Chains A and B, each alone.
Chain A
């Protein structure tokens, strides 16, 4: 029968933005209200930080041929899937991963943050560009003090 079994509602946000500094902030604000509206208030701070790091990397390093930054966010029942990609020059992931950054290095902390704040983190990069696929789980309730409202967009 058609339509008698309601599908688990999946909500999506898709953004194709110009590769500019201003667009990073715009994307962050849109993503923030999107995930907050969909029950990820407490996680919004981490989600937007992860997105900002990924978008900053496109702006700073990718030089995409379409001059765009692409973001796709999917709300699932208990997690958020975040895909961010570019059609830029790509880079050698293994080489960057092996690079040991001293604690006092003022650069090169973006991936450390993205990896640390997400529950899964995949990256593909080559001459066609770079594609990141990350998930962040919904926190279990009651484990944290409610000081999280401090983190507003």
Chain B
């Protein structure tokens, strides 16, 4: 599993590549804590390359959603894998979270042009775990 972070149009895009589960949640949390410390409160969580999500992964997504809510930020999820959408549906999270099928739609939703700004800030967060 790998977490990629990049800045786009005032949003921080956090992409989870691989599995988000009991094994990889610690790495995901580490990245999010770093974002929190840097006061990045507008997030697009890209789950389009997620291959597996269990209840521990769900817990971590709920946790970050709540943190962003209480920081008055905005958080949008990108997801189109039907099996993983089903996991969200089973716990009714699809009714609470803002979920879009791709980055373009997510940016449309938050009203930002999908421009691109490179950032070195997160360059030390690379592959770890699986």
Tell yes or no: B56 within 8 A of A by CB: yes
Tell yes or no: B63 within 8 A of A by CB: yes
Main secondary structure of the interface of A (DSSP, over half): helix
User: Which residues on the A side are within 8 Å of B87 (C-beta)?
Assistant: 49, 113
Q: Which residue of A lies closest to B56 (CB)?
A: A56
Q: Assuming the A-B contacts A113-B87, A113-B90, A113-B91, are A49 and B54 also in contact, with contact meaning beta carbons closer than 8 angstroms in the complex? A: yes
Q: Assuming the A-B contacts A56-B22, A151-B81, are A116 and B90 also in contact, with contact meaning beta carbons closer than 8 angstroms in the complex? A: yes
Give the number of chain A interface residues (Cβ < 8 Å). Answer: 29
Tell yes or no: A106 within 8 A of B by CB: yes
Tell yes or no: B93 within 8 A of A by CB: yes
Contact A25 B23 (CB under 8 A): yes
Q: Assuming the A-B contacts A117-B90, A150-B81, are A45 and B52 also in contact, with contact meaning beta carbons closer than 8 angstroms in the complex? A: yes
Tell yes or no: A112 within 8 A of B by CB: yes
Tell yes or no: A46 within 8 A of B by CB: yes
Give the number of chain B interface residues (Cβ < 8 Å). Answer: 29
- Return B16 CB to nearest CB of chain A, in Å: 13
User: Which residues on the B side are within 8 Å of A148 (C-beta)?
Assistant: 82-83
- Return B71 CB to nearest CB of chain A, in Å: 15
Q: Which residue of A lies closest to B52 (CB)?
A: A151
Q: Assuming the A-B contacts A21-B22, A21-B23, A25-B23, are A107 and B83 also in contact, with contact meaning beta carbons closer than 8 angstroms in the complex? A: no
Q: Which residue of B lies closest to A151 (CB)?
A: B83
Tell yes or no: B66 within 8 A of A by CB: yes
Tell yes or no: B31 within 8 A of A by CB: no
